[in-house]
Amino acid sequence: MSRVARDKFRPNRASVVAHELMQTYDLVIGTDVDEFLVLDPHRPEGLLQYISQRPITGNLSGMGIDVARHRIKEHNFD
């Protein structure tokens, strides 16, 4: 596929898959392959309890933070 065709295909395919999943599941969480979804560690409940207690009528979004290191000045992440 050309880049333009692929850029149009991917969101449409994701929408179709999400629609199919919603026929079986109450909630679908989508992320990129290099992302993690975690709850604020200061909250008393876990992620499942947090999401279960919220009436989700549309979208619920997380906040993204890019983490990087300076390869020369900093050690590898542990």
Residue 30: its pLDDT value, please?
76
Residue 34: its pLDDT value, please?
79
Residue 44: its pLDDT value, please?
93
Task: Name the pTM for this structure.
Answer: 0.49
Q: What is the mean pLDDT of each run of 10 residues along the chain (78 residues)?
A: 86 88 82 82 90 79 81 85
Is residue 51 packed enough to be buried (19+ CB in 10 Å), middle (13-18) or exposed (0-12)?
A: middle
Angle value at C-alpha 24, between 19 and 30, nearest 5 degrees: 50
8 A C-beta contact, residue 60 and residue 54: yes
Residue 73: its pLDDT value, please?
92
For the chain, what are the domain ranges?
3-52
